[in-house]
Amino acid sequence: MRALGLRAAWLVGCLAVTACGLARPVPLELSPEYRVVLGRVDITTFDVWEGVVEIERDDHTFAYQLPFGRNAYDFAIGLPRGRYRVMRIKGIKDSWSHPNDTVWDVKLGFDVGDEPAIYIGTLRFQSDFKQLRVSVEDELDRTLALLRTRYSNLPDSVVRALATRT
C-alpha cells in the first residue's frame, strides 16, 4: 500500500512539473515585416458559442480569420503594415447549426503602422441573433498582463490604437 502511495505521489509530481513547463510563456513567432496586434474578443453576452472575426486589409491583399470561443478570447496576432477593417463576424450558435452560420457585417477599422505592437481594444459583441451591437473597450492593462504570461517576446512598448467605427 505504501509503495502505491509513493508511486501516486511521484506521478502527481511528474504531472505538476510537466504542467509548469507547459504554462511557461513561449515566443510569438512573426515574420520580420509583421507587427504585433493585441486585443480581445468578448462574446460573453452573445448568443453564439464560437465563430470567426474576419479582418481584411483595405487593399484586399491580406486577410486574417481570428477564431473565438464562448469565453473572452485575448489575442496577439501578426499583421503586415496597412489599414485594416473588421469586416464580419461569423457566429455558430451550436455544433448542429454549423452549416447555417449567422454572419453580421461589422464596421470597425484600425491601422498597423511602424510601431512594433498596437492594442486595438476589447471588441465586445452582443446580439440576440437578429441585431448586432459592437463596442470597443480600452482594457489594455488587463489584456497585456494576460498576454505577457503566454508570450515571452511581446514588445515592451505597446501603442494604444483602438479600433474605430468606419
Could you tell me if residue 140 is left (phi over 0), alpha (psi between -120 and 50 degrees) or otherwise beta?
A: alpha
Nearest to 160 by CA among 57, 27, 37: 37
The span from the CA of 93 to the CA of 100, in Å, is 9
pLDDT at 37: 98
User: Is the distance from CB of 112 to CB of 166 less than 8 angstroms?
Assistant: no
* DSSP secondary structure letter of residue 85: E
- Residue 154 phi/psi, 5-degree rounding, is -65, 140
pLDDT at 99: 56
pLDDT at 164: 97
User: Is the distance from CB of 117 to CB of 77 less than 8 angstroms?
Assistant: no
* Buried/exposed 56-94: b ≥16 CB within 10 Å, e otherwise: bbeeeebeeebebeeebbbbbeebeebebbbbbbbbbbe
Residue type, 154: L
pLDDT at 25: 92
Residue type, 12: V
Distance spanning both ends of the chain, measured CA to CA:
69
Nearest to 156 by CA among 110, 111, 116: 116
* Residue stretches of the chain with pLDDT short of 50: 6, 10, 14-21
pLDDT at 131: 80
